[in-house]
Structure 1
Amino acid sequence: MSDSSRNYENFIELRKRDSSFIWTSRKLNPQLAYYQGIPRPTPIFHKQNVLNSPRIQELLDNISKKQNVSKLVLEEKVLSVLDEIGYNKNLKVIRWLGLVLVEICLRMSTGIYVNVDNLLKLKTEMGNCPVIFVPSHRSYADFILMSYLCFTYDIEIPAIAAGMDFHGMWGMGNMLRDTGAFFMRRSYNDDDLYWAVFKQYIYQLVTKGDLPIEFFIEGTRSRSNKSLIPKYGLISMILKAFFFGEVPDIKFVPINISYDRILEESLFAFELLGVPKPKESTSGFFKSLKVIKENFGKIYFHFGQPISAKRFFGDKLERSVHNMGPLHVQEMTEKEKAVIPSLAHTIVHTQQKCGVINVFNLVALILNDNLVNSKELLTVKELIEEVYWLKDVIQKLGAFVYTENIENSVDECFVVHKNLIEVQPNNRIRLVHNNIILDKIHSSKLKAHSLSEKCMTFSVPFVMLQMYINPSLHYFLDVALIVVILKYQQDLDAEELFNKYHFLRSLFSVEFVTILPWVKMEFHNALQYSTVLNLIQLTSANSYILGNNGKLENFLCTMLEPFMLSYYIAVVVLEESPVIIDEETVLVNSQKILEDKINNGNEFVHPYSLNLDSLTNCLNVLVTLGALSKTRSRNKITYEIRRQEIVPIKEKLRNYMSYCCSEDSCIKMKYLKNKL
């Protein structure tokens, strides 16, 4: 990634210099995504085109005959669905919202940064084909700030795919719709007419629209602050227009949005432990505005290089097959469907490469290692020294760390994250623990095991700290897996090492997003990085052994500990369960075992191992690996366990456990309690 792509501009700083009201009231001449002629399409135009499209009209004719329902009644139903789905644009609402956002951002943030060179280059290239913004999704603030950024740089505010959670919020749903949001149901309960109308609406926006389209390929906010496996639904609908030859190209723009501090951090920590997400409501939104009194540090937007569908697919596809008959009766070919996952994963991978690592990500890694490894609590001076060391390591692994001065950035961490870390009178750093009253978080509604107040109080700070470790883990993961393998078997040739690496990488392919065709490439890259960092050496016999970087070696093992433990416990629970078991029971039993280990104090168990994301990811990947078969009925998920597949996985994992979860865990736990 070139240096120019990392030229960041603090665009909120510009608002301190002039009148926000004059700025939001300025004459706008926004850049369009795909301008096809005059007049510009309106929201009403899009709805009418969907209703009158041959696909929808033919569907209505068929339903009318089968169900003996008047076609006019069905058309009214389609218009009602379109009113539920469709976006609107109200410039007055956009301007007033822009004015409010300026004031909120100036209070909450010390800077909102964007790699301005890439953004302006993208702006000059817009206008020839549909442009799709694909940001990472870590906060509800993502889509609001994306629209604010577009308004700032005079790019037409995109049509944004939003969940129905917001649709029912009094006042908020209409405001979001007026600023470009269109709404989609998370499930359509076999309502084929709704599904057909929604797909046709997307097709309409891509082929006849002039706005960029924005959607979150991960489907939902990542509570863990890690990348999630991409969803293929919306990207498939968007690509249909390209596959059918209705547009010359489609440009997907991967965008990484990184936060010094996430607005929903405590909410996410509780969700990861099983506390249900509160229902979105307008009153809840206004209650949440109390956070504007707090300092959330910096926010970073990084626009990656656009991915052209035409160049990406090249000659892999033969689009002329869709010239054989009317388009409205055609569907994507199996070959077209098969290439979509590769593009989706490439977008997520590019989002990761565009990430900005902030100093607190490094601080979180260092504090975690310090807390769980029986070390004396760090002083501020020692922490700064460790940050310098880790910054050098992670940059060698390809990360970009944004800081102008490490000492100042560390000081800022104590201000921004004062709810999580603090400096004691003896100048040593500790986690902040606040007593948690489960009555306030409806313990009876927990998604899995009803964790005790004692366990919650102990675990939440560790889970929150881990959320700031997670954005950096994809840089370390592959070299960490190689280290753990060689700790167990000290001398392996390249083929043997790859086979063991392939097993672990496949097992964690949902936890740390990858697709199996990339694993060989990731392995070879990891060998190179591991050699540069002196983690491994190649012997004269052409086999690999551990190198002489014990400090980093142990650091990497600590990173993997909670994930290895979560997966191992889940597999143990499955091995000891009946052949048929429901998902909730697996989660409950896994959390119960982990909580008992945490509460009895006889051994150290990393509290992040309790998180439901990892336990669920484990179940999903075991389905992919053929160790479980999954059935969903009436909102209940059940699994059939194939023990002949589960047992070997458990045994392989057990081999690595002692190298990730230290054998002196009892001593660690007692020492940790003294420190905290």
Structure 2
Amino acid sequence: MAEQSRNAWISKDDPKLVSARQKDMFEDILEDRRHSSDLRYSLKTRDVTTFKLNKPRVPLQIKEHVMKSDRVNFAIDQTCLDTKLPREEIVAEAMSILDEMAHNLRTGAVRGFAFFLIKVMKSLYRRIYVNVDGIQKIRGLIKEYPILLMPSHRSYMDFLLMSYVFYNYDLPLPVIAAAMDFMGMKFFGWLLRNSGAFYIRRSFGEDHLYWAIFTEYVQCQICNGDNPIEFYVEGTRSRTAKSYTPKFGMLSAALEPYFKSHIPDIIVVPVSISYDRILEESLYAYELLGVPKPKESTSGLLKARKILEENFGNIHIVFGQPISIRKYSEGLVDRSLHNLAPRYIASLTNQEQDLIKKLGHHMVLTQQKHMVVSPWSLMASVLMQSQGGVSLRQLGKEVEWVKRQASNLGAYCDWPASESAESVLRANLKLHENIVRVSQEDVVELVRVAPPAHAKATDAMMITAGQHLMLSLYRNHILHVFVRPAMIAISVNTCNEERLSIDDLYTKYTFLENLLCKDFVFIPGNTKADFELALLTLTHTCGVVMENNEVVIAKSTNKHTTFYSHMFEPFLLGYWILCQYLLSNHPNVAGKPLAKTQKNLVKEAQMLTARLLQEGVVKHYEMLSLDMMNNGLHALYSMGGVSKERRDGVVYMYPNMRQLSTITDYLAKFVDVPPLPSVSINLHSKTITVNAKL
């Protein structure tokens, strides 16, 4: 694929120097706002397109519909039978749940919110680019079908941006599934609710009444086409700038009306939001290290207003190709199977559940496909492999090389083609001067990052790890581009034989995919196709040599395979240390491996990693990430290396020594592992006892 540039014709991508609003297929929606009245804009007359079958109603009428629905009344009756409580008490509980959940979308609040948002956006960002063709497709479809919006979720700004974009283009504002965290914020919780946010619990468990109210509330708005419904298929914000594996609860509830023939079709729109600089970068880094995030509050928001003085660069918002569920499911599901069952009883066939899982993965991968790669992400991928610093000149050469590789693999790189590489680098170094600096000798190096106030971190290792994790956020933004070719490159780069058969290579690829399946998103059942495409890419563009269905190792080991291998080395080495920690756990009195909670296991593994970093045994500070440890533990569980058991409602985990030993030994073939003594850890005293000198 030819190298791509989003703004090849712009000599300087700076609002002060460029007056044009368009850039390739994008439009900057902040440009006009910088030259006209914000108040007039927030009070403008909006000619909003609506769904053709919509019967206008206010939020109170939606709540009345939910309480009168067969689904909710059936759930109330069942709850009465289960709890032996009077119906009036359960009805009151249902009303309380609905009042807590429901939005109260009001035009006055929306206009006030629009005025506030414009001020914030203009202060924080230089440009907000939107692909206009995506907006026009939505405008045409919104008249005919209910719309589900599924944005990527890397920042709190995501749902504000979506509302702002829809307000700007005179589209009906989406109602947004929001976490309960925001509800407790004085004034802002009220403002969000009145601007279309409806609050849902993070977990419903076995609360059938809550499930029924939530499902009916979502579905009645889909069927009536009141507003587009926006939710995050990943379930929560990504603290790592990598996509999370999809969650299916909300998606199942949203698509059930189609499967049960309440409506003829639903349109699903994937949305990719790419940030030059993430607002929460410092908070994320320390949260990954185990520092609890500060509770969402109005006072905290006001204290954070000093960030309005900082520059967070550009945002690119890409609305992907809308997907018709009717066409997507054609020949895959049989809707007539629901004809004889009451429609208010939640039930999906195995075919429908499989389709939902397939669609969820498709949504996440489509979001990744349309992510815009900034120069800083390319720079971060080089800097993460040059922790001692790198000259600006060498950085430029390496970044140009990485840009070519990313473009060849299908990434969209937002690189001003008419600017010199040095000017692009310096502009991005300036944007991220809180992380890196250029010395007098023109060496790019990390700077000491002050931890956020709530972290209260004075430990030097914690601060250093925070620096590296902040940088890794931006490297992570492009890892999905490289992960499949890299899994082959790792196998090639670490092979000790002269040749590697394609069957053995596929076995290694499958092992790595299983190991990395929680850190990266792979479509279940698509392993073989992914492998073949990745191998084809490497042989055509990366110098991997195949002869007689074998990889010739000496001819294939090159800069591509080495760079790709090093990109993912922290993950493999981090998993290996986790395995070693689990294998070192002392048995209980019965001689079996000691079971511990997941939280304790990952915390103790993090403590071991910290000790190894202190001793210089390993060098990747991002291995201290609790997210990486958690993902590794879940992957080991899916591979049979770890088991779970539940005691008094608490889940405990323990290693299956034989299987875990096999996994650990095989993993060691893919990464240079350090000599590691047996280790015991006492979490309560926060000490590490090493049985031999490191």
Specify whether residues 337 and 533 from structure 1 end up closer, same or farther in structure 2 by C-alpha distance, changes over 3 A only: same
Deviation per CA, 1:552-577, whole angstroms, max 9, x where unpaired? Answer: 33221221111011110111111222
Aligned to 1:48: 64
Aligned to 1:503: 511
- Once the two structures are superposed, the pairs formed by residues 412-491 of structure 1 within 5 Å of their partners are 412-434=427-449, 441=455, 453-489=459-495, 490=497, 491=499
Matched residue SS, 1:165 = helix
Aligned to 1:586: 601
Please identify, of 588-597 and 465-474, the stretch whose mean Cα deviation from structure 2 is larger: 588-597
Specify whether residues 47 and 598 from structure 1 end up closer, same or farther in structure 2 by C-alpha distance, changes over 3 A only: same
How big is the shift at 1:289?
A: 1.8
CA distance in 2, matches of 1:189, 1:91: 35
Cα RMSD (Å)? 2.4
Matched residue SS, 2:387 = helix
Specify whether residues 63 and 227 from structure 1 end up closer, same or farther in structure 2 by C-alpha distance, changes over 3 A only: closer
Specify whether residues 63 and 420 from structure 1 end up closer, same or farther in structure 2 by C-alpha distance, changes over 3 A only: closer
CA distance in 2, matches of 1:74, 1:363: 57
Specify whether residues 147 and 546 from structure 1 end up closer, same or farther in structure 2 by C-alpha distance, changes over 3 A only: farther
Aligned to 1:162: 178
How big is the shift at 1:546?
A: 5.2
CA distance in 2, matches of 1:292, 1:202: 35
Aligned to 1:657: 671
Aligned to 2:405: 393
Please identify, of 1-10 and 493-502, the stretch whose mean Cα deviation from structure 2 is larger: 1-10
Please identify, of 196-205 and 408-417, the stretch whose mean Cα deviation from structure 2 is larger: 408-417
Q: Which has the higher helix share?
A: 1
Aligned to 2:638: 624
Aligned to 2:287: 271
Aligned to 1:673: none
Aligned to 2:558: 550
How big is the shift at 1:657?
A: 1.6
Deviation per CA, 1:424-451, whole angstroms, max 9, x where unpaired? Answer: 11221111114659x95257xxxxxxxx
Would the aligned equivalents of 1:632 and 1:638 in 2 still touch at CA under 8 Å? yes
Specify whether residues 54 and 605 from structure 1 end up closer, same or farther in structure 2 by C-alpha distance, changes over 3 A only: same
TM normalised by structure 1 equals 0.91
Residue type of the partner of 2:73? Answer: Q
Aligned to 1:78: 94
CA distance in 1, matches of 2:84, 2:482: 61
- Once the two structures are superposed, the pairs formed by residues 210-609 of structure 1 within 5 Å of their partners are 210-329=226-345, 331-371=347-387, 377-404=389-416, 405=419, 406-434=421-449, 441=455, 453-489=459-495, 490=497, 491-540=499-548, 542-545=550-553, 547=555, 550-577=558-585, 578=587, 579=593, 580-601=595-616, 603-609=617-623
Would the aligned equivalents of 1:436 and 1:453 in 2 still touch at CA under 8 Å? no
CA distance in 2, matches of 1:651, 1:66: 51
Residue type of the partner of 2:47? Answer: N
Residue type of the partner of 1:168? Answer: G
Would the aligned equivalents of 2:494 and 2:671 in 1 still touch at CA under 8 Å? no
Matched residue SS, 1:247 = coil
Residue type of the partner of 1:9? Answer: E
Would the aligned equivalents of 1:566 and 1:609 in 2 still touch at CA under 8 Å? yes
CA distance in 1, matches of 2:400, 2:300: 41
Specify whether residues 227 and 632 from structure 1 end up closer, same or farther in structure 2 by C-alpha distance, changes over 3 A only: farther
Please identify, of 627-636 and 588-597, the stretch whose mean Cα deviation from structure 2 is larger: 627-636
CA distance in 1, matches of 2:399, 2:429: 14
Matched residue SS, 1:166 = helix
Specify whether residues 249 and 544 from structure 1 end up closer, same or farther in structure 2 by C-alpha distance, changes over 3 A only: farther
CA distance in 2, matches of 1:15, 1:506: 48
CA distance in 2, matches of 1:402, 1:394: 11
CA distance in 2, matches of 1:345, 1:200: 25
How big is the shift at 1:98?
A: 1.1
Would the aligned equivalents of 2:515 and 2:635 in 1 still touch at CA under 8 Å? yes
Gaps spanning 5+ residues in structure 1: where?
A: 444-451, 664-676
Specify whether residues 635 and 120 from structure 1 end up closer, same or farther in structure 2 by C-alpha distance, changes over 3 A only: farther
TM normalised by structure 2 equals 0.89
CA distance in 2, matches of 1:256, 1:534: 28
- Say whether residues 1:106 and 2:114 are aligned partners: no
Specify whether residues 424 and 442 from structure 1 end up closer, same or farther in structure 2 by C-alpha distance, changes over 3 A only: closer
CA distance in 1, matches of 2:87, 2:484: 58
Aligned to 2:15: none
Aligned to 2:36: 18
- Identity across the alignment (%): 33
Please identify, of 318-327 and 55-64, the stretch whose mean Cα deviation from structure 2 is larger: 55-64
Would the aligned equivalents of 2:491 and 2:505 in 1 still touch at CA under 8 Å? yes
Gaps spanning 5+ residues in structure 2: where?
A: 7-22, 588-592, 677-694
